[in-house]
Structure 1
Amino acid sequence: MIDAGKAYNTANRQFVNGIQELAQQSAKDDVIESSLNKFAENLQEMINYHTFIMARFQRPSSAHLRNGIAVHRDLRKFKEAKKQFDKVSEEKEAALSKNAQAPRNKQHEVEEATSILVATRKCFRHIVLDYVLQINVLQSKRRSEILKSMLSFMYAHLTFFHQGYDLFSELQPLMKQLTGQLDQLVIDSAKERKDMEMKHSTIQHKDFSNDDTKLEYNVDAENGIVMEGYLFKRASNTLTKCSLSLTAFSLQAVDNPTVVVEDLRLCTVKHCEDIERRFCFEVVSPTKSCMMQADSEKLRQAWIKAVQNSIATAFRDKAEDAEMMDGKSSTSTCSLESAGEVKERSLKGESALQRVMGIGGNSTCCDCGQPEPRWASINLGITLCIQCSGIHRSLGVHFSKVRSLTLDTWEPELLKLMCELGNGVINQIYEARREELGARKPQPGDPRHEVEAYIKAKYVERRFVQRRSEDETRQKVLSLRQQDKRLSGSSEARSGPSASTASASSGERTVTSASLHISEPQEECSGKGLVVSCEPQQPTLGLQLFWASFCRSLPDMAEALAHGAAVNWTNANEQNRTPLMMAVHGGSLVACEFLLQNSASVNQQDNLGRGPLHHATILGHTGQVCLFLKRGANQNAADVKNQTPLSIAVEAANADIVTLLRLAKMNEEMRESEGLYSQSGDETYQDIFQDFSQMASNDPDKLDRSYQDKSRFP
């Protein structure tokens, strides 16, 4: 039995070793690894307990062996006592027989037989007592040793099973947890199997003719590889994985560490249409020509565009490095230059950096204070360091739209927007209650998770925005209305009777009785310049945004949005017009850009069926028309009188707006005719729109046009 127990323990140890090896092989799965290690540990404890039992059982066996020798001696004594008992019994029988045979007449024989019988009986009694004693001793020792051994064995098992019970009681919560996880795994496995069956069924009916690999051009990649994918290299006719590296400005093969093109700054890329193979393009350098083949036309266009962008980036970075070496960096300024100067420098990004950094507070990151930020959130109007810009990207474009101040091209209206706001203005809004709540603002070098938590609390939860009461909102709305009234009155007094028919340039503010109906509470109705309804209106955040857009007050607009105003809020008292339409009537190109960057709808219509493009066309705001067309406004939309922006501009004889609308329509038709792989637009179209944008932002007087009859568009 002891040998069998030892063999059992040996087999169990081998089993536990196998479990531990399996746990090591499952190191990638934390649940399986930790569970197997825990089970192996408990089973090893049970083996140790069982080994202890066998040791205790082996000790009584040795004692039994020693006791067996003593019992053997007692047994020998018993046998000797039995022999004496048998001998005395025979002698007693003989004495009884002799005593019975003694004659009565022989007195001396009778006395002799009687004395022998008495002595024999006495001896017999002593021998019987010794014999019985030996029998009792043997029986007592037998009973005590058996019970003692079995009792010790049973106590050992009691200890073994009690320790095992305690051990597995501690393991029971883990076993229950794993049971629940196992049930979930079974459910997930069944669901996954069902999904795979559905995918198999879907794949059987799927058309793989256009199943192209998705490629993304990432200029901010940390490893410098902005794009990678598979291309056929024509020389070897093998599938080679190629990547574009901005670090070395080269096109390299990843799987085989060879440089396909050493310096992209010396190269050009072009389509190859005169060869038999499809989807080919060629990267030409002064020393060699490298022919590449993509899997489809879409992938070829993506690779060509990526190479072209990398070449442009290489030249730009080279130029910036040269400027830094020569010490030719100019001082920062937020003044807007002429359209020609901005156009020449728009690709470098240096002009954007200088102007935006010239605004107060923009020289450090808005959220953590890191000096010399090189990124910006264009819908918030703030500058950011590279770490905070990454966090802003993770929030989503509905919270923050991030753009590089040095790598991206900046449109003039976007530059003006950045110069109108800035870190100081936005922090006054989004950090108004920070000190009151005792929140700590991150510092440069703080852990990313702390900075991320602060930014989410600031912009997503808007925890630090000052909560405003209804009375404060009413006062703010009345203040904006009074400001609007003063501006309207001064405009009418200055212009006289013709003010209601004079149009404004794209950068000026125009208020006309023909196109604007304003509700102002507790004011008498007046008929000059403005048509004012006397019905009071409940002050809301949407109403604040509505009038702030008309007054061209970007801080008040940003404040209203921070408090939760809907950017597409409609004013039922003003023909369901939106803040974007009011920004058009206010004549502010920057206010329109701010609303568009914050997801304002460029095609939402009022009760007359007119969208922002209609209103800008009616008012003759050429810059706003150009902006809305660039932002995707539908120029084919007709109002309730079935008039489109083009028909309105033609009737008003506004040559600039007619030119823009017709050019945009022609470009749209060209793109539709070219199909899926058409470029973003004709170069002539892009140049003309860029010129109009520059003039609208920097020299609006050049776009000043006058309407002769606005009464046709009530």
Structure 2
Amino acid sequence: MIDTGKAFCAANKQFMNGIRDLAQYSNKDLLVETSLTKFSDNLQEMISYHTTLFDQTQRSIKAQLQTFVKEDIRKFKDAKKQFEKVSEEKENALAKNAQVQRNKQHEVEEATNILTATRKCFRHIALDYVLQINVLQSKRRSEILKSMLSFMSAHLTFFHQGYDLFSELKPYMNDLGAQLDRLGVDAAKEKRDMEQKHSTIQQKQDFSSDDTKLEYNVDAANGIVMEGYLFKRASNAFKTWNRRWFSIQNNQLVYQKKFKDNPTVVVEDLRLCTVKHCEDIERRFCFEVVSPTKSCMLQADSEKLRQAWIKAVQTSIATAYREKGDESEKLEKKSSSPSTGSLESGSEPKEKLLKGESALQQVQCIAGNITCCDCGLADPRWASINLGITLCIECSGIHRSLGVHFSKVRSLTLDTWEPELLKLMCELGNGVINRIYEAKVERMGVKKPQPGSQRQEKEAYIRAKYVERKFVERQPASVSPPEPGPKVLPLSQEEKRLSGTEKSPLAARSSDSGIQRSADDSREHLASTLSTNSLCEPEGEKRDPPVPRDSTQLRPGLQLYRAAYKKNLPDMAEALAHGAEVNWVNAEENKATPLIQAVLGGSLVTCEFLLQNGANVNHRDVKGRGPLHHATVLGHTGQVCLFLKRGANQHAADEDGKDPLSIAVEAANADIVTLLRLARMNEEMRESEGLFGQPGDETYQDIFRDFSQMASNNPEKLNRFQQSDSQKS
């Protein structure tokens, strides 16, 4: 424990050094630098308190108990060995005395004298041995309790010091929180202003022309002659093309996969290589850099860029022969030059802050969400996404300790939020959940915690509420059988129903050659083919009426099953509170699960709610069809996108031997075919690249995330894509 604690303190010190470095890098931002410095100083002081605690533990427990073991117990062991030796000698004397014959008087006297002496010695040693036992037992009690008392006193001092330290820091933290709120408002206003400027510039300027800078400079101060993106053909058997950031610097051709990665050298010395056009391969704008040991096939984005890169390489080769300067001086200049990549990375926290504020505003608009669901503290900044409630920071910490199978906690201001999760939070809320989980609080006479209540009181209440579910209104024992719900149709019937509906006019334009493209082309193809209604529910869609109250008389699993089809999230939450199994199987309806019923009901939010509560995305019914199969048959593109993001097995075939891709191809659903083939292409690219470096995976995630956001937040953009396609056709 002591060794692990010291290692923990050492790791914490490294972390503090990182925070101090970050504060130094932020020296132009006074607020960030001051805050990080203050926080690091306080945490450093806590580390010193922790180090002192482990030193006192070393002295109070380890040193004292080791002294007790080495000295007192060793004396006891020596006395025990002596006692056992004398005991053995006494036994031998007794045996020898018994063996002497009575007619040998001399031997009888000798044996008797030895026995008497041995017995006397034994009694003395036995008395000493008993004394050692009593002394050891008495000292053992005092030594152990003394050590533990000292250890607990050290802990008491440690926690008092920490409490005093952070009590002094609390006012500053409150002020900083208020400043961050104001910064969020200012950032949102700045974003609106920038969007207006962007829109104005977009209307006045033509962006269709290629304005890429083609300059190269062999005398650049930072040593970089030319840099930019090029496609590089891999040397593996697949000959895949990957987009990388190339640069010519210090008589070398290098590339980076990401900005912060160390450069990978393609050509060690440009003086030993040549460059030439390549017109004998299938791709355009290609050129080859050849060295004595290897060749590298590259592709530019246009003919202008190819000529510029070839000219830059040729000029660098010529310059390298004349260059006599010291290469180390160039390296120093290169390392001291500013990099544009840091500017791009610096915009990420601002973007995340804006997304977080948007999520906070949307979620807090729901009734009851402006206060913590469990203690009532105002302005909660945390949420439980599987319960659909908002929480204060202290209650969110208690929820985290329950485990993700009870509550999944996420920040409303620091984390990014998928659109389907935001809709889920807006469908439930503190009012709905408290009506379920606190139904019997007043009747039982239980006092709900207040914002100022002790943490132990809040923790006991939250465990009773969500883990033990003590306050949930129990269902009566007698239940009446419900009317049968919608059954899972066989595949042929679903296909007939799908064929009877109006198909998208975009489906006829889908072809194998158009779908099997590179990752970048797939992004444009997906943007031009997905319809507005494919990834989000229509605003004006007529929803089924809510489940009547007598549905609560159902068994919890069946209630969840029925409510999933009717898109009734409050009833689903109530069923889970009553102990419903989220993967409950309806043996009477083809062994379908609530997730399959949610697919048939056509609600993306219902599927998200079940998945957040542990639904198995790969469970298959009696016909061998999982949720992905049913979503594909029904043409629910948004659900297909959600299931693929959650790891659905798209290769699984039903009892007819059809996987989701073959079903989508037969139905001529271009949207779903595109998604499934893009996901399959991503798997193949990931396998070819190995565990590290997954460009296909990054593109795949970007496409799904972009279109999920677009369908939920900016559906007019998808309308624009659809209209432009129809005009072209």
Which structure is larger by alpha-carbon Rg, 1 or 2? 1
Q: TM-score, normalised by structure 1?
A: 0.46
Q: TM-score, normalised by structure 2?
A: 0.46
